[in-house]
């Protein structure tokens, strides 16, 4: 009798979720090529593995990247920091732009 082993194949998919933009702004770590920045207070030179901002003490709940990444790097980030939400920084910037445009038009 042959036995079959089920192999679980995992993949990275983009998932859209309604988030409070103000909350993301306060708790977002933006990672660039050389260092990271707190989006809340704009402190630069933060280590990309930091759990909180050394300037404003905001706890980083979200992380975004200024450049496109390989899936292998995202896996590494997820392994190192399983509780942080990885967001698409371009999507975030577009959402902020739309919000700010609505504010200008409502005045």
What angle is formed at CA 96 by the lines to CA 86 and CA 101, rounded to 5 degrees?
Answer: 165
The per-residue pLDDT for range 10-40, each reduced to its tens digit, is 777 888 899 999 999 999 999 998 899 999 9
pTM: 0.83
The per-residue pLDDT for range 57-94, each reduced to its tens digit, is 999 999 999 998 888 888 898 999 999 999 999 999 99
Domain-wise residue ranges, the chain: 21-106
The residue among 100, 36, 25, 105 whose CA lies nearest residue 61 is 25
The residue among 16, 41, 33 whose CA lies nearest residue 92 is 16
**Residues in the chain, overall count:** 107
Phi, psi dihedral angles at 22 (to 5 degrees): -65, -40
């Amino acid at each position: 009798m042959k036995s079959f082993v089920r192999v679980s194949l995992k993949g990275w998919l983009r998932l859209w979720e309604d988030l409070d933009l103000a909350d993301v702004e306060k708790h977002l770590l933006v990672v660039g090529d050389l260092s990271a920045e707190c989006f809340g207070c704009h402190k630069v030179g933060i280590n990309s593995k930091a759990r909180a901002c050394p300037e404003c003490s905001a706890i980083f709940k979200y992380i975004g990247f200024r450049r496109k990444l390989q899936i292998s790097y995202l896996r590494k980030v997820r392994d190192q920091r399983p509780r942080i939400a990885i967001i698409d920084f371009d999507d975030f910037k577009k959402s902020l732009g739309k919000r700010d445009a609505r504010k200008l038009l409502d005045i």
